[in-house]
Structure 1
Amino acid sequence: MTVTRTGTVRTIDGAPHLVLTRTFGSPAEAVWQTFTDPERLRSWIGYWEGDPTTGHVSFFMTAEADDPEPSRYTIHECDRPRRFAGDTDSGWRLWFELEESDGVTTLRFGQPVDAGEDIGSIGPGWEYYLDRAMAAHEGQDAAAVVWDDYYPALRDEYAALAP
């Protein structure tokens, strides 16, 4: 399969962010569920446990390991079904925004990036996971999305975007 880079680096609030987009032929609420419901997340990346109203959950990234260690995720913003933002315990701030028009929803997924970060692997990684999310959302098998199609194929294109 041939994949293409969809991400760009944009300045948001004075800082560079890697921003990737996807378009879903579904209302924003359905896409929101794909990205926030722990059972829906299981089909493409992992799941979370805990009480999000406390501002923290434990995230288990099962897409890369069968029995992963949990990581703590701090929730900074949760405006259903429009915007979500939070930090991983590894120091990544991740966010997504959904915009719906006539039943079609555009997802903008982002992460601030600093000079020196390995955007050459970060970008292909998010392309891979967002395509897995799309497959799962559409009722397809996310496992059919193959990592080797993304990396190293997109590495150099993303590395060239580094701030």
Structure 2
Amino acid sequence: MITPTSDRGTKQVHDGQDFVEFTRTFRAPAEDVWAAVTDPGRLARWIGSWRGDPADGEVWFRMLFEGDEIPEEHMAIHQCDAPHRLRVTSTSPSEEGPQVWDFRIDLVEANGVTTLTFAQSVPDAQLAEGVGPGWQYYLDRLMLAETGADPADIDFDDYYPALKEHYRELFA
């Protein structure tokens, strides 16, 4: 098994909201990394897939590695400047009512190396303890998928609960 990266998320503020933010670096052009995070077939290797027409400003996204009971999430696309910037808001059903999350993806390429910055809004420390380890896990899966390794070689149990205190403290 592969162990979690040490590239943990940080707390950042965007547009007055708290976000957990991660960076990952790829030896690939921005267009290739963009495809890894937007093309349904490539997304399906490490996190999930979507259906719909992005030109309509929305798609439906489903996580593929969290069991069959996970409902689709509505993704409203606010900004899409391929291959550099994506801003979306996800609305998913929950027992407490709809959960709404803002996501930011930025790609910067220099000399054939692309840095991906991924961020998700986190309204409180309680939610951060799950969101942070979850995205660290999925971004590590992305890294494996893009290097030709098997994303199944990592185990979520190595991320949660082991990393929940780090993320709760960030947002305390």
Q: Counterpart in 1 of 2:167?
A: 158
Instruction: State whether residues 135 and 142 of structure 1, in contact with CA within 8 Å, keep that contact through their aligned partners in structure 2.
Output: yes
| Matches of 1:85 and 1:2, distance apart in 2 | 27
What are the residue-to-residue correspondences of 1:40-59 with 2, within 5 Å?
A: 40-59=42-61
Offset, 1:5: 4.9
* TM-score, length basis structure 2: 0.88
User: Match of 1:6?
Assistant: 8
Q: CA RMSD in A?
A: 1.6
Cα separation, 1, equivalents of 2:40 and 2:111? 27
Please report how far the alpha carbon of residue 57 of structure 1 lies from its aligned counterpart in structure 2 after TM superposition.
Answer: 0.8
Structure 2's unaligned 5+ residue stretches are: 93-99
Cα distance between partner residues in 2 of 1:151 and 1:65 = 16
Residues 88/22 of structure 1: CA separation in 2 closer, same or farther (3 Å cut): same
Secondary structure of 1:135's match? Answer: helix
Instruction: Provide the residue aligned with 1:115 in structure 2.
Output: 124
2:111 aligns with 102
* Distance of 2:128 and 2:69 partners within structure 1: 27
Among all aligned residue pairs of Structure 1 and Structure 2, give the percentage whose two residues are the same amino acid: 44
Contact (CA 8 Å) 1:28, 1:99: kept in 2 or not? yes
- Where does structure 1 lack aligned partners over 5 or more consecutive residues? none
Amino acid in structure 2 at the alignment position of 1:108: T
* Number of matched pairs: 163
Q: Is the 8 A contact 1:4 1:154 kept in 2?
A: no
| Post-superposition offset of 1:66 | 4.3
Answer yes or no: is 1:38 the counterpart of 2:40.
Answer: yes
Q: Which residue of 1 aligns with 2:81?
A: 79
Structure-1 residue corresponding to 2:138: 129
